[in-house]
Amino acid sequence: MLVNGNHYRSVWFEKDKIKVINQILLPHKFEITELKNTEDVANAIKTMLVRGAPAIGVTGAYGIALATKKGEDPNEAKETLQNTRPTANDLFRGIDHVMDSLKNLELSHKDLYALKAANDYANRSVEACKKIGEHGSKLIKDDSRILTHCNAGWLACVDWGTALSPIYAAKRQGRRIFVYVDETRPRLQGAKLTSWELLNEGIPHAVIADNAAGHFMRKKEIDIVIVGADRIAKNGDFANKIGTYEKAVLAKENGIPFYVAAPSSTIDLSCETGEKIPIEERDENEVHFIGRERITPEGAKAKNPAFDVTPAKFVTGIITEKEIFKPEEIAKVFKR
């Protein structure tokens, strides 16, 4: 995708280092950060310097390749990286993909195979997201007004994105579109990242407060909702950034189609329902502070779940790299 007219991926491997776009500094500063060891990779994922389910999946894959190249124990690297963020299924899929490539190999060959496996995983992820755009763009008519939540664009997905991929594809097909961008408290990924991506792509949009979406739905100013996912359970329930559940309920109440866009790497068929999805709890200071300014009274406590679970009954369809499916079809189409 584009940054000032130049193409970038959000994460890649170059000269024995992982390079990532530093998402913490956006939108005010565009900077490439180098990750030189397993500790760097783990910290980048924990602090959300790199974030988004497919992106951290690829970063995890490259993390194993980096550890192997440096002669570290890949099993120790795997344990460290898997403990960074529990909700997104892609992280575990990316790590396992590279670990599986190392089975029954001589130690001297492992670094080459690990990097090849990580690059293959990254390229497959990009292609899956591009296909999501091709399938999902069929849902977007000319003059569509689209609501999205959090950032599920190319920053979150190496390239193209999930929820934003159909929007980018529709734009490139010549359709007029307008996007309502939820700010996404407390980390403000919509306001900081999605808006920045859309500006670079020349797509008209407006950032709205998280609690304003219902107002625009009731006024018939939103035609379709498309969000990403961090884990999709076997029955079609899914976890996504906190605030997604209420958008789905509001969409159902107002008769607005609600779609989830995600690659197959996000689907976890070993997880029977959304009740089994682990929900990450982050530091309460993310709620107390915006930047360095405290916005709550000293002594106040805060709760900070990073994700919520939306039941399948609120989902119109799931946009994947294969096609668009009903939630109840997922278990039949995708195998463990």
Closest of 266, 28, 82 to residue 156, by C-alpha: 266
Q: State yes or no: is 16 an active-site residue.
A: no
- The H or E element that residue 89 is part of is helix 89-101
Instruction: Note the pTM of the prediction, 2 decimals.
Output: 0.95
Taking the domains of the chain in order of start, what are their residue ranges? Answer: 2-130, 132-333
* Structure tokens given for 256: 């607005």
- In order, the DSSP letters of 161-226 are -SSSHHHHHHHHTT--EEEEEE--TTTTHIIIIIHHHHHHHT--EEEE-GGGHHHHHHTT---EEE
Tell the CATH topology of 2-130: Four Helix Bundle (Hemerythrin (Met), subunit A) (1.20.120)
- The H or E element that residue 243 is part of is none
Judging by DSSP bridges, how do beta strands 317-319 and 324-325 pair with one another? Answer: antiparallel
134: DSSP letter: H
Domains 2-130 and 132-333 share a fold: no
CATH dotted code for 132-333: 3.40.50.10470
pLDDT for res 111:
83
pLDDT for res 1:
83
pLDDT for res 107:
62
Note whether 240 and 149 are within 8 A (CB).
Answer: yes
- The H or E element that residue 144 is part of is strand 144-148
- Per annotation, catalytic residue among 90, 230, 268, 308: 230
pLDDT for res 104:
73
User: CA 238 to CA 266: how far, in whole Å?
Assistant: 9
For the chain (336 residues), the mean pLDDT of every run of 10, in chain order, is 90 96 97 97 98 97 96 94 95 96 76 93 98 98 98 97 98 97 97 97 97 98 98 98 98 98 97 97 96 96 98 98 97 85
Identify whether 166 is preceded by a cis peptide bond (ω within 30 of 0): no
pLDDT for res 108:
65
